[in-house]
């Protein structure tokens, strides 16, 4: 049996404005309207002999991850939280330590949460071949059979053939220039480095100890103080923060004598940019990819994505246009790698558009910041059936709640009472309060905040069923 380890810690900044720091691309339905990239990654494992996956993600994405696993009926899957990002070598080490904690030594299938694979039978065939090599003690990477001279990926040079349709890896190669990439494609001996791997957990830990012992030592110390919190596994933050930052390629795969490669020709994409997303989506007769409410006139080879309002284009070509509630991106399709520079500018200006959307997801539901001014803010809040916000208070703001649909159970100081549709209640500054949906339909309400400071960090929690201290 294989144990999938799904790496879900990226920020996806090149797919801004849809992908944000608090809701990155792996948790979004970037290709399918029915499931996120993470959910598609898990679903494509159906038909293989696998156990419940270990999901490695950031602390700030824990409730998104748990909810998406719950939607797939995988409430019992392990969610391993990284206190800070330290690249793939330490993250995989933590997963290997967890996989072997009970005395077992499974074969790990390391996958990224944000990849697309369109040919599932071909993918399953390559996974089974890789599993046979991992049984022999090999550290397997998957090389993507290239379809064009790509300068955005690293490459693997194919060496001598080994068993089960694999090859030794002669070299790991950094991203080349275009002329070099064309040469690689012509030879047929170079494959794209997918960032997917397979090996027995103990073999990875052995090679990590040999080639990057400081990484293993920091991970072992952090895992020695592991804590279980609901669905989540937390390691010691101080010990893990001392871990060197390094990728599995640099730390292990480029040094081990047991690195082998299985070719994978299965319609793979890392969905790393808007142009990559344009490539993999269905197009109209003029080469356009359309999402949402869009009207085109004399528009060619463009990606146009509306989330909340009409987009109309006239006489344009090779553009990416993406609209959200709080931002619009317009870029030439050949320049979308530089979207990250826009995100860098937003960070430098301390603007919130790079961190979150207007709609912010919480373990109890979602809120949408409709309007704000110097001393007020208006939110539309949706509380899921049976969910409850924390028992809390604010030092600097009062809140007025108006129920639009459903029924709210409100704790307001010493009183607890129901508020139904078209009714309202007022929470003064400094009052301990809580909001709960006791019903079976979503609770919708409008919250009007007023006060000198309206930041989300003005929350003092006294009780929280989701284990939060802040946020």
- Rounded to the nearest 5 percent, the helix, strand and coil shares of the chain are 25, 35, 40
Asked if residue 169 has pLDDT above 80, the reply is yes
Q: Taking Cα atoms as reference points, which of 154, 110, 156, 174 lies closest to residue 259?
A: 156
Average pLDDT over residues 359-366: 89
3-state SS class at 403: strand
Please report the pLDDT score of residue 317 as a whole number: 98
For 39, the token pair is 């959910």
Asked if residue 228 has pLDDT above 60, the reply is yes
Do 125 and 26 lie in a common domain? yes
Do 422 and 285 lie in a common domain? no
Do 425 and 280 lie in a common domain? no
Q: Extract the runs of DSSP E, i.e. beta strands, from 113-189.
A: 116-117, 139-144, 155-161, 167-173
CA–CA distance, 180 with 190 (Å, rounded to integer): 11
Instruction: Indicate the number of domains in the chain.
Output: 3
> What does the radius of gyration of the chain's CA atoms come to, in whole angstroms?
24
Q: Taking Cα atoms as reference points, which of 231, 242, 274, 471 lies closest to residue 362?
A: 471
**Of 291, 315, 342, which marks where a domain is finished?**
342
Please report the pLDDT score of residue 412 as a whole number: 97
Q: Taking Cα atoms as reference points, which of 228, 232, 227 lies closest to residue 63?
A: 232
Asked if residue 469 has pLDDT above 70, the reply is no
pLDDT tens digits for 133-166?
A: 999 999 999 999 999 999 889 999 999 999 999 9
Asked if residue 25 has pLDDT above 50, the reply is yes
User: Among residues of the chain, what percentage have pLDDT more than 90?
Assistant: 90
The residue range of the domain holding 453 is 359-463
Residue 348 counted as domain residue: no
Do 261 and 308 lie in a common domain? no
Cβ neighbours of residue 349 closer than 8 Å, sequence gap 6 or more: none
CA–CA distance, 409 with 419 (Å, rounded to integer): 6
Question: Strand 443-451 and strand 167-173: pairing?
Answer: unpaired
Q: What is the mean pLDDT of the chain?
A: 95
Do 243 and 169 lie in a common domain? yes
Please report the pLDDT score of residue 63 as a whole number: 87
User: Among residues of the chain, what percentage have pLDDT more than 70?
Assistant: 99
Asked if residue 471 has pLDDT above 50, the reply is no
Please report the pLDDT score of residue 98 as a whole number: 96
Do 229 and 310 lie in a common domain? no
């Amino acid at each position: 049996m294989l144990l999938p380890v799904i790496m879900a810690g990226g920020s996806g900044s090149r797919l801004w404005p849809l992908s944000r720091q608090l809701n990155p691309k792996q948790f979004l339905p970037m290709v399918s309207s029915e499931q996120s990239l993470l959910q598609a990654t898990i679903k494509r494992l159906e038909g293989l002999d696998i156990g419940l996956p270990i999901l490695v993600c950031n602390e700030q994405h824990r409730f998104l991850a748990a909810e998406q696993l719950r939607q797939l009926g995988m409430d019992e899957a392990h969610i391993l939280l990284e206190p800070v990002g330290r690249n793939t070598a330490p993250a995989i080490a933590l997963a290997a330590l967890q996989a072997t904690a009970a005395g077992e030594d499974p074969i790990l299938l390391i996958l990224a949460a944000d990849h697309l694979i369109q040919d599932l039978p071909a993918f399953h065939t390559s996974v089974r071949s890789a599993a046979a090599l991992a049984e022999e003690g090999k550290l397997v990477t998957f090389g993507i059979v290239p379809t064009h001279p790509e300068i955005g990926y690293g490459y693997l040079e194919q060496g001598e053939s080994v068993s089960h349709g694999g090859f030794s890896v002669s070299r790991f190669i950094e991203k080349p220039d275009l002329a070099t990439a064309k040469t690689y494609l012509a030879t047929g001996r170079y494959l794209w480095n997918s960032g997917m791997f397979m090996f027995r957990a103990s073999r990875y830990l052995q090679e990590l100890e040999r080639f990057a012992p400081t990484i293993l030592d920091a991970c072992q110390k952090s895992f020695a103080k592991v804590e279980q919190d609901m669905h989540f596994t937390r390691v010691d933050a101080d010990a893990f923060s001392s871990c060197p930052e390094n990728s599995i390629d640099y730390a292990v795969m480029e040094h081990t004598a047991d690195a082998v490669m299985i070719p994978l020709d299965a319609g793979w994409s890392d969905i790393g940019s808007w142009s990559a997303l344009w490539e993999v989506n269905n197009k109209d007769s003029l080469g356009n990819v359309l999402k949402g409410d869009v009207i085109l006139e004399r528009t060619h080879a463009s990606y146009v994505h509306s989330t909340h309002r009409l987009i109309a284009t006239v006489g344009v070509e090779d553009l990416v246009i993406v609209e959200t509630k709080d931002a619009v991106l317009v870029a030439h399709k050949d320049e979308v790698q530089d979207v990250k520079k826009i995100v860098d500018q937003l960070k430098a200006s301390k603007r919130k558009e790079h961190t979150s959307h207007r709609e912010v997801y919480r373990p109890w539901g979602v809120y949408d910041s409709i309007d704000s001014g110097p001393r007020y803010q208006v939110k539309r809040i949706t509380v899921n059936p049976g969910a409850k916000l924390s028992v809390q208070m604010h030092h600097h703001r009062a809140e007025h709640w108006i129920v639009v649909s459903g029924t709210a159970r409100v704790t307001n100081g010493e009183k607890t009472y129901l508020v139904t549709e078209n009714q309202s209640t007022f929470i003064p500054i400094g009052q301990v309060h809580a909001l709960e949906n006791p019903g079976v339909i979503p609770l919708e309400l409008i919250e009007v905040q007023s006060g000198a400071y309206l930041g989300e960090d003005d929350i003092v929690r006294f009780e929280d069923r989701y284990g939060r201290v802040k946020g």
